[in-house]
Copies of this chain bind each other. A is one copy, B any other.
């Protein structure tokens, strides 16, 4: 009990300069000196537990957040009690970028498993970026990257079949986990089938059926949250297919 508490405290005490996420997170491309300064403004919070919120829709925006360990789901609560899952975020990923414009959080972020989150006060980040041109430029790139990612999702939701969506989702998880030094073929999903379906614009039942179909076809092995991708190539081929509407007229 006491021991695990000490361990997580130690884990959180680690500064940006020692952080294994250095290449994924903000410090990328900064000098050692700059990272020290960035270090000063980042607050490291105590671990959050499944279901805890990092921020909620409607709250005033003060900080960006970086997932340090664990995973986070962002979603837009809808009237009627439903929700629209906007994304799943792994260690090193930044959340809250959509709140800069209105200075209010336009979505909510909740933790899918016990997670550590770094808080980056935005006004201090902006002040710092005014003095460090490379940081300023890096923030532009981060925001642009987010736009690029959203654009990919737009294509996925607008043009791809259920099968292609789930394959793309699994490959995305695979690649992102791999970048973090984990197995690209063997991992645990921290989100439910319901959340996956919601995220991909599919019914839970469709997601479930696709998992069993993929398994029958030998593409993967799945047991509850545990997924083993057996044929990455075939999966890549699935998502690389021309979008649905385009399959009608084949060009010369």
Contacts and interface: CB of A to CB of B under 8 A. Distances in A.
> 10 tightest A-B contacts by CB?
A82-B246, A81-B251, A100-B144, A158-B201, A150-B150, A143-B143, A80-B242, A157-B157, A101-B144, A101-B145
**A-side binding surface: helix, strand, loop or mixed?**
helix
Contacts of A142: 101
Interface stretch (A110-118, A126-134, A171-179, A217-225): A126-134
Contact of A148 (B78, B101, B158): B101
Interface of A: 76, 78-82, 84, 86, 97-102, 106-107, 126, 129-130, 133, 136-137, 139-148, 150-151, 153-155, 157-159, 198-201, 203, 242-243, 245-247, 249-251
B81 A140 contact: no
The complex is assembled from copies of this chain, and their number is 2
Contacts of A242: 78-80, 82
B130 A201 contact: no
B130 A84 contact: no
Contacts of A143: 97, 100, 140, 143-144, 147
22 contacts: A80-B242, A80-B250, A80-B251, A81-B250, A82-B246, A84-B154, A84-B155, A84-B158, A86-B154, A100-B143, A100-B144, A101-B142, A101-B145, A101-B148, A126-B133, A126-B136, A130-B130, A143-B147, A150-B150, A157-B158, A159-B201, A203-B245
